[in-house]
Structure 1
Amino acid sequence: MTHADTVIDPALEDGAPVSVERGATVSAPAPRKRFGLRIVFVAVLTALLAGAIGQFALFAHTIATAKVPSSANADAIVVLTGGHARVSEAVRLLEEGRANRLLISGVHPGTTREQLAAVTASAMPLEKASVDLDRVALNTAGNAAETAAWVKKNGFGSLLVVTSAYHLPRAEAELSGALPDVDLIAYPVFSKDLKLESWYQEPATMRLLMREYVKYILARLRITVKGAR
């Protein structure tokens, strides 16, 4: 090897000459690169986790502070089944004249109008002239599809949406996707057994809200993808 083949490595103390064959390169130590990548990965993961926790906390706070609208009047009412309190509240709104027609979506095939009237303590027998029963929907997406068909058939321009407070964000997302030109008025129903005001101190309530939050995010993603096609 000639003197021209000798390369001085500036990273070495005292600048001691190191013989390197022509065309060879000196690379940085691999362990140092891997350590740096791990730091970046942990930082990104921490940021994503903090963002997810923040979004969930905002979701829970929105539900806990939801208010019943002061002016709850519309062309029609839809209630998404899932508890007697929901249906009872929707029937009460109908009896008060907040709308002229009611759809109870997601009714079990074996449930009769008389049974519904009994469990809601309704003063009216849920007559066909004012109350329609949807026995097809099996989930919130199905509720939205059946409600959309009902609304379009009757030409309603505004809709009072009655369901549990924790279920309202997902219900509104599904209904907004199915009825983009209809004015939706959210009407939350609060369960006495669900302590939403202190959800962060109630493990059962927190678990319920976390499940609902995941379902809400998945529903929004599905609706967005569907709308982009």
Structure 2
Amino acid sequence: MVMKGPDSIESAPVVTGIAAFDGRKPRRWSILRLVAAVLSIAIAAFVGGFGWFASHVSHLRTPADPAKADAIIVLTGGQSRLDAALGLLASGKGERLLISGVHPSATRRQIQVATGGDKRLFSCCVDIDRAALDTIGNAEESAKWVENHAYGSVILVTNNYHMPRSLLEMGRLLHGARLEPYPVVNADLGDGSWLTKPEALRVMFTEYNKYLLALARGVVPVKPTPGGIALAEIPILRR
């Protein structure tokens, strides 16, 4: 017999409420597990990508005898880059050299003296870009220069860790010119020693994040702020 008086207990609504609660809890845990799995995959991909990037750039080598090109472009950021570019120009590997990213206050004479470059070579065959503030700016100004001179092939000079991002940004704008990478290697880290050197690890990690941002710009049009790695060996120059 079922009691329906004032003291009776209606059990059905209580059971229904518990059942609803128990149904929500597994769904919530499923969502959390899914989020955790996605985050784990993303972190593993990021770490694995960094390992690949660091290994790749640390194994880049400076070509012993690069093929001749129409012109040479060097992205400022250290005297070793400039020395390499001027050496290529002097040896006839390119008809003309663009130094991209020079500080506005630096004169041609100051750069020539600071690098020890040949005065006659500087006068005839070196152009200076003072407008670029970062790698994106380097690519924009270089594209204008290449188009104005109708060059079909260019040797690109920069440090090994900076080369992947430079090629990516340059390749987006220099559509009609073939890019020949000339990575400058300041320290041989091909044995994996970048893992035990804090400064090298910091440079690699910073550049890896900038490279990912450059890749993302292909999907989302964002522009990183100027700054980055302070490795300039000549105070009057900047990258």
TM-score normalised according to structure 2 size: 0.79
For residues 104-123 of structure 1, what are the alpha-carbon distances to aligned partners after superposition, in whole Å with 9 as ceiling and x for unaligned?
Answer: 01111222222222222223
Contact 2:194/2:200, CA 8 A, preserved across alignment: yes
**121-130 vs 139-148, which moves further:** 121-130
Q: Deviations over 1:30-59 (max 9, x none)?
A: 333333332222222111111111111111
Give, in whole Å, the separation in 1 of the partners of 2:168 and 2:189. 24
Partner of 2:227: none
Partner residue, 1:151: 146
Cα distance in 2 between the residues matched to 1:118 and 1:182: 31
2:29 aligned partner: 35
Unpaired runs of 5+ residues, structure 2, are 3-9, 222-239
Task: Tell me the distance in 2 between the aligned counterparts of 1:196 and 1:79.
Answer: 24
Matched residues in 2 for 1:56 and 1:77: separation? 30
Q: Give the 3 Å change call, closer, same or farther, for CA 158–206 of structure 1 in structure 2.
A: same
1:67 alignment partner in structure 2: 61
Per-residue CA shift, 1:38-94, capped at 9, x if unaligned?
A: 222222211111111111111111100112234332100000001111111100100
Q: Note if 1:45 corresponds to 2:39.
A: yes
1:155 CA drift (Å): 0.3
Matched residue SS, 2:194: helix
Letter in 2 for 1:27: A
User: Is the 8 Å Cα contact of residues 113 and 126 (structure 1) preserved in structure 2?
Assistant: no
Change (3 A) 1:212 1:78: same
Alpha carbons of 1:102 and 1:214: their partners in 2 closer, same or farther (altered >3 Å)?
A: same
Residue 52 of structure 1 aligns with an amino acid whose one-letter code is: F
Moved more, 154-163 or 28-37: 28-37
The match for 1:104 among 86, 90, 99 is: 99
The normalised TM-score by structure 1 is: 0.82
* Structure 2 counterpart of 1:54, from 48, 52, 62: 48
- TM-fit CA distance, 1:224: 4.0
Once the two structures are TM-superposed, the CA of residue 128 in structure 1 deviates from its matched residue by 3.6
Aligned pair count?
Answer: 208
Letter in 2 for 1:190: V
User: Displacement, 1:102?
Assistant: 0.2
User: Equivalent residue of 2:40, what SS?
Assistant: helix
Q: Partner residue of 1:76?
A: 71
Cα RMSD after superposing both structures: 2.3
What secondary structure does 1:163 align onto? strand
The 8 Å contact of residues 117 and 125 in structure 1, kept in 2 or not, is answered as no
